[in-house]
Amino acid sequence: FLTEKLLREVDLGRKYSNPDFDLESIEKVAEAAAESMKQAEAVTHIGLGKGLVEKVASNRRILGENGQVVLQRQSSSGKIKEAREAPEGTIDPYVRLISFWKEDEPLAVLTYYATHPQSYYGHGKVNWDFVGIARQERQEALGGLPHIHFDGAGGNVAAGKYNDGSQEKRPLLASRLATGMERAWKTQEKLILTSDMLGWKVIPTTLPVRATLKEEELQAKLKDENLTEKIRIRAARDLTFVRRMNKGEQIPISSLKLGPAEVLHLPGELFVEYQLAAQELAPERFVVMAAYGDYGPGYIGTEIAYSQGGYETGPVSRVAPEVEAVLMETIHRLLHSEQ
């Protein structure tokens, strides 16, 4: 909404977003959440499981011998021979599942998997793509059991090795992900869950701003009518984030403790390395991660990634390389400190 406000001030309102639709959607979700409380069920157990997902995810950043990105493997890069033949690279190959039970009756399922959820796209139609198809398939297979899916830290992960952007690839990718979800369901361990096993932590965090983003320069770009709308809209988005951080605004980063499970909620298009690092920090626990919360930072890479080139650590990332140290400290505190 802050970006839209800036754009309206220079007669570019509604060029970037539809605030009326956004507000309506927020209100509908709030109303549905309130209504759902009238149908609350007591949870006695949770189920924890993970399933291997084969031939879906691959790292987007292919490094050369010099340690620099030599090939940007996007979501539909499978049409390029080099992208198909390059190794999968660093990914998290597992979909993780948390289910809620009332004794022997399943109530709901949450799943988490790290990848860009795109097969063919860019045609002006918003849809749930292969990830949504997989979720729907599993919900129907379990008799309509509510199933909510979260994208993990998939900022540098996509289906590019296995997807060429053709329409027939969408159901194939969906089937592969659904198979992983089914494996997670069938192998889950069911555990007692009581109220004293629950916990909620929130750590407000200030993220370091990219050094090249200067408030005065961004404001000048926004007002420059000689520039393209695309450049001016980008300037408004950048300016919004810079002002938020310069004013000392902090982004809430949180964890939900469910017995032996830890559900982490992170901002931005986070690199998968953060998800893998969180799991290593607490190997005795069942750690899942949902990224893409506060989208202000854009892409969030690892420190070394900012010296390696590539799309994700270019202008689409509004944070500085020091962001890794900041986020890892926050993740460590969420997993290991009492609050």
> Strand pairing partners for 127?
none
Would you say residue 31 lies in a domain?
no
**Is 140 inside a domain boundary?**
yes
Please check whether residues 225 and 307 belong to one and the same domain: no
131, 117 Cβ separation under 8 angstroms: yes
Question: Residue 124's pLDDT band (boundaries 50, 70, 90)?
Answer: confident
The answer to the question of residue 102 being in a domain is yes
Examine the fold and report which residue of 246, 269, 301 is the final residue of a domain before the chain moves on: 246
Query: Does residue 321 contact residue 307 with C-beta atoms inside 8 Å?
Result: yes
How many domains in the chain?
2
Q: Give the pLDDT mean for 8-19.
A: 95
Domain match, 295 and 237 both:
no
Q: Per-residue pLDDT averaged across 198-202, rounded?
A: 98
| Domain match, 127 and 239 both | no
Could you give the maximum distance between any two Cα atoms of the chain, in Å? 65
pLDDT for 339 beyond 80: no
pTM value is 0.96
Distance CA 71, CA 62 (A): 5
As given in the structure block, the two tokens for residue 317 are 């990332």
Assign 71 to helix, strand or coil. Answer: strand
Tokens representing 54 are 């084969």
The residues, any chain, with a CB within 8 Å of residue 34's CB and separated by 6 or more, are: none
Q: Does a structural domain hold residue 30?
A: no
Given a contact cutoff of 8 angstroms between Cβ atoms, the answer to whether 96 and 111 are in contact is yes
Dig out the tokens for 13 from the structure. 């309102």
Give residue 229's domain range: 2-25+207-246
Is 158 found in the same domain as 297?
A: yes
- What average pLDDT does this structure show over 127-155? 98
Answer with the one of 219, 246, 273 that is the final residue of a domain. Answer: 246
Q: Are residues 231 and 261 in the same domain?
A: no
Residues 274 and 319 in one domain: yes
Q: Return mean pLDDT, the chain.
A: 98
The token pair that represents 254 in the structure block = 């949180």
User: In this predicted model, what pLDDT tens digit does every residue of 170-196 receive, in sequence order?
Assistant: 999 999 999 999 999 999 999 999 999
Q: How confident is the model at residue 59 (pLDDT cuts 50, 70, 90)?
A: very high
Q: Kindly state whether residues 231 and 112 are assigned to the same domain.
A: no
Residue 174 located in a structural domain = yes
Question: In the predicted model, what is the mean pLDDT of residues 46-50?
Answer: 99
- pLDDT value at residue 337: 81
| Residue-wise pLDDT tens digits, 243-252 | 999 999 999 9
**Percent of the chain whose pLDDT exceeds 70:** 100
**DSSP code of 291?**
-
Residue 236 lies in a domain: yes
Is the pLDDT confidence value at 338 over 80? no
The DSSP line for 43-54 is: --EEEEEEEE--
On whether residue 155 sits in a domain, the answer given is yes
Torsion sign, CA atoms 58, 59, 61, 63: negative
* Cα angle 75, 77, 79; round to 5: 135
Confidence tier at 4 by pLDDT (50, 70, 90): very high
**Residues 117-134: b if buried by 16+ CB within 10 A, e if exposed:** bbbbbeeeeeeebbbebb
Strand 94-102 vs strand 45-52: parallel, antiparallel, or unpaired? antiparallel
**Are 172 and 291 found together in one domain?**
yes
The least confident of 53-57, 124-128, 199-203, 240-244 is: 124-128
256 closest CA partner among 246, 266, 248, 247: 266
Do 101 and 229 lie in a common domain? Answer: no
Q: Do the beta carbons of residue 43 and residue 101 sit within 8 Å?
A: yes
Domain co-membership, 92 together with 141: yes
- Specify the pLDDT at position 73: 98
Distance between first and last Cα of the chain: 32
Average pLDDT score over residue span 230-242: 98
Q: For the segment 260-312, what is each residue's pLDDT rounded down to a tens digit?
A: 999 999 999 999 999 999 999 999 999 999 999 999 999 999 999 999 999 99
Say if residues 285 and 260 touch (Cβ distance below 8 Å): yes
Does 33 map to a domain?
Answer: no
Alpha helices in the chain, H assignment, sequence order: 2-9, 19-36, 81-85, 129-141, 169-186, 215-223, 229-246, 272-281, 323-336
Residue 160 has pLDDT above 60, yes or no: yes
Structure tokens at 212: 């090249």
The per-residue pLDDT for 104 is 98
Do 99 and 193 belong to one domain?
yes
Token pair listed for 62: 């292919």
Q: Are residues 187 and 214 in the same domain?
A: no
